């Protein structure tokens, strides 16, 4: 054919869309949401305010922020029938698989949201999902631990409510340590959006077929689950544990990661865009020191992580490939200090990334983007005739 097809596996050099939401500069290690630097937002903003910023494009006034919170609280309960779907899962089910299933199930209980077309209908679908997603995420933790489900408390702020949904137990008062809540809030801000990463591209591609918001986000949860993407934060902590048990010889593991015959990779290292320090990793590494100190926690995994980082950043293999710690390298150490089970780390990433996914889905629909349908280079069998089975 005379068509020109440019092959670009992994879309390393392909821009899939125009977007006004997030800006990355991989060389300089810059990340901005709607023009505001991640450093300033992590320092001064709150996760709810950042959710508003990503969705609306502007920082809210106090009135707008309160209305946003009220709108979210209108939807912070989940149908008991979804609890029945949850009950059918084995407690060994990975929380990301449960979360993806329950998110898709939301469609059946909120049918109006599927046909969201106007700006107002899309905003409604967005706050519906933001209200319910935190409940679903917390229910996956309660399932893992075999604990009764909790329900939202609208008197609490979004992150406090998410925390009590995860950790409140019957007949016991829940200590809501401000250090813990602030750390959680900061981590959620840092994960809120990241332009066209694998899961966000998935959400935009599924949504480009005019699939409803919940099913599109469910697909994003599945993409994030992958160990090369959001699943890496769980892999990092499991890797650090292995290195600790192995005596803490980080150089041995750095060498293992370089060995092409060994499929071991240094999890939490490397990035498609950042060829410099991931600005989020820099913030999280500093926060890990501060939070563990404030909570009086000694975690050998943090020391091993720092030694691993040092060893890798002095190693030609990593330096020549511009491999630096990414967002997943230190985040698990903080989640662990906050009492979050390892298998829940990627769910925490998903709760943070939700507003980015939604904002990007709405932008794609409002820009009337065409359905995503890439081409290919065919390298299969040439034309040939059918052979009856008796002649094969
Ligand atoms: C996230 O895209 C995003 O924005 C994602 C994210 C977000 O916020 O949405 O930032 C979140 O997913 C962060 C990344 C989490 N994943 C991991 O930490 C898993 C480990 N990292 C790698 O698998 C890898 O670095 C990726 C997946 C992150 C990036 O893969 P690329 O861009 O396709 O790079 P590549 O696999 O082609 O690697 C280039 C070279 C290869 O060596 P050579 O073939 O040139 O000899 O670097 C090597 C790779 O073998 N390499 C590594 C390595 N990462 C890359 N070698 C050892 N350990 C690693 N971690």
Contact residues of ligand 1, CB 6 A cut-off: 10, 194, 197, 228-230, 232, 257, 265-273, 321, 323, 326-328
For 247-278, the DSSP string reads TS-HHHHHHHHH-TTS----TTB--SS-SS--
Cα–Cα nearest to 225, from 236, 234, 212, 215:
234
pLDDT at residue 1, rounded to an integer: 59
**Substitution site in 243, 271, 316, 346 for ligand 1 pocket (most atoms within 8 Å of beta carbon):** 271
Catalytic pick among 191, 271, 278, 315: 271
Using N-to-C axis directions, what is the helix angle for 300-313 and 279-294, rounded to 10°?
A: 150
Q: Compute φ and ψ for 33, nearest 5 degrees.
A: -105, 115
Alpha-carbon distance values, 27 to 9, 190, 225, 304, 324 (Å): 22, 19, 27, 27, 12
- Provide the pLDDT for residue 355: 98
Please calculate the CA angle 58-208-9 and round it to the nearest 5 degrees. Answer: 100
If you take atom 43 of ligand 1, which residue's CA is the nearest one?
A: 321
Element (H, E) at 23: strand 22-25
CA distances from 116 to 204, 276, 354, 380 (A): 15, 40, 18, 41
Contacts (Cβ under 8 Å, ≥6 apart) of 388: none
What integer pLDDT is reported at residue 348 of this predicted model? 98
In the prediction, which pLDDT does 2 show?
74
Is 271 tagged catalytic? yes
Residue of minimum CA distance from atom 52 in ligand 1: 265
Distance 73 CA to ligand 1 centre (A): 38
Pairing assessment for the beta strands 22-25 and 36-37 based on DSSP bridges: unpaired
Burial class (CB in 10 A: 0-12, 13-18, 19+), 44: exposed
Sequence-distant (6+) residues with CB within 8 A of 11 are: 196, 201
Q: Closest residue (by CA) to atom 56 of ligand 1?
A: 265
pLDDT per position in the chain (392 positions), as tens?
A: 578 899 999 999 999 999 999 999 999 999 999 999 999 999 999 999 999 999 999 999 999 999 999 999 999 999 999 999 999 999 999 999 999 999 999 999 998 888 899 999 999 999 999 999 999 999 999 999 999 999 999 999 999 999 999 999 999 999 999 999 999 999 999 999 999 999 999 999 999 999 999 999 999 999 999 999 999 999 999 999 999 999 999 999 999 999 999 999 999 999 999 998 999 999 999 999 999 999 999 999 999 999 999 999 999 999 999 999 999 999 999 999 999 999 999 999 999 999 999 999 999 999 999 999 999 999 999 999 999 999 99
Grouping H, G, I as helix, E, B as strand and the rest as coil, residue 97 is helix
Comparing CA positions, the residue from 356, 358, 357 lying closest to residue 122 is 358
Phi-psi region of 241 (alpha: psi -120 to 50; beta: other; left: phi over 0): alpha
Give helix then strand counts, H and E, for the chain. Answer: 17, 3
Greatest pairwise CA separation for the chain in angstroms: 78
Which are the contacts of 313, defined by CB distance < 8 A and separation ≥ 6?
319, 324
Q: Which of 196, 230, 261, 270 to mutate to test the pocket of ligand 1 (most atoms within 8 A of CB)?
A: 270
**Cα–ligand 1 centroid distance for 10 (angstroms):** 12
ipTM of the complex: 0.97
Calculate how far, in angstroms, residue 119's C-alpha sits from the geometric centre of ligand 1: 37
Give the distance (Å) from ligand 1 centre to CA of residue 263. Answer: 13
At residue 31, what are phi and psi to the nearest 5 degrees?
-135, 125
| CA atoms of 179 and 164, how far apart (whole Å) | 15
Work out which ligand 1 atom sits closest to the CA atom of 268: 18
Q: For this structure, is 328 an active site residue?
A: yes
Identify whether the C-beta of residue 224 lies closer than 8 Å to the C-beta of residue 353.
yes
At which residue do the structure tokens 């990975």 appear?
94
For residues 82 and 108, what is the distance between their CA atoms, to the nearest angstrom? Answer: 10
Cα separation, 287 vs 187, in Å, equals 9
Hey, CA dihedral for 306, 307, 312, 313, is it positive or negative? positive
Per-residue confidence (pLDDT) for residue 187, from 0 to 100:
98
Instruction: Give the per-residue pLDDT at 149.
Output: 98
**Model confidence, pTM:** 0.97
What pLDDT score was predicted for residue 3?
A: 82
Other C-beta atoms closer than 10 Å to the C-beta of 387 total 8
Across-strand partners of 324? none
Task: Indicate which atom in ligand 1 lies nearest the CA of residue 272.
Answer: 32
- Look-up: residue for tokens 């697909």? 219
Q: Name 168's Cβ contacts closer than 8 Å, sequence gap at least 6.
A: 150, 174
Residue range 35-50, pLDDT digits in tens: 999 999 999 999 999 9
């Amino acid at each position: 054919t005379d068509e020109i097809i440019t092959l670009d596996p992994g879309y390393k050099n392909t821009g899939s869309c125009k977007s006004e939401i997030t800006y990355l500069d991989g060389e300089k290690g810059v990340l901005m949401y709607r023009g505001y630097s991640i450093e300033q937002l992590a320092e001064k903003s709150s996760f709810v305010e950042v959710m508003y910023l990503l969705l609306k494009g502007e920082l809210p006034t106090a009135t707008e922020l309160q209305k946003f919170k009220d709108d979210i609280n209108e939807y912070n309960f989940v149908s008991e029938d979804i609890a029945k779907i949850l009950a059918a899962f084995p407690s060994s089910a990975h929380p990301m698989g449960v979360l993806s299933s329950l998110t898709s199930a939301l469609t059946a209980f909120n049918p109006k949201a599927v046909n969201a077309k106007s700006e107002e209908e899309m905003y409604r679908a967005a706050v519906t999902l933001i209200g319910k997603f935190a409940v679903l995420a917390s229910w996956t933790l309660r399932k893992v631990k075999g604990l009764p489900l909790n329900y939202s408390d609208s008197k609490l702020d979004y992150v406090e409510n998410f925390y009590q949904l995860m950790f409140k137990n019957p007949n016991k008062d829940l200590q809501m340590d401000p250090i813990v809540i602030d750390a959680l809030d900061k981590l959620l801000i840092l994960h809120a959006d990241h332009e066209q990463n694998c899961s966000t591209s998935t959400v935009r591609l599924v949504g480009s077929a005019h699939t409803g918001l919940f099913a599109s986000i469910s697909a994003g949860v599945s993409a994030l689950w992958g160990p090369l993407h959001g699943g890496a934060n769980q892999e990092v902590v499991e890797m650090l544990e292995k290195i600790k048990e192995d005596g803490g010889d980080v150089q041995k593991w750095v060498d293992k990661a370089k060995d092409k015959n060994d499929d071991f990779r240094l999890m939490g290292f490397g990035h498609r865009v950042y060829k410099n320090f991931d600005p989020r990793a820099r913030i999280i590494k500093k926060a890990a020191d501060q939070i563990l100190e404030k909570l009086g926690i000694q975690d050998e995994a943090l020391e091993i992580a720092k030694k691993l980082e040092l060893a890798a950043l002095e190693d030609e293999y990593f330096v020549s490939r511009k491999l630096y710690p990414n967002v997943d390298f230190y985040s698990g150490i903080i989640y662990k200090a906050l009492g979050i089970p390892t298998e829940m780390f990627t769910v925490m990433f998903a709760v943070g990334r939700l507003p980015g996914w939604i904002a990007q889905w709405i932008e794609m629909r409002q820009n009337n983007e065409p359905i995503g349908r890439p081409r290919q280079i065919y390298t299969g069998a040439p034309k040939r005739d059918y052979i009856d089975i008796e002649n094969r």
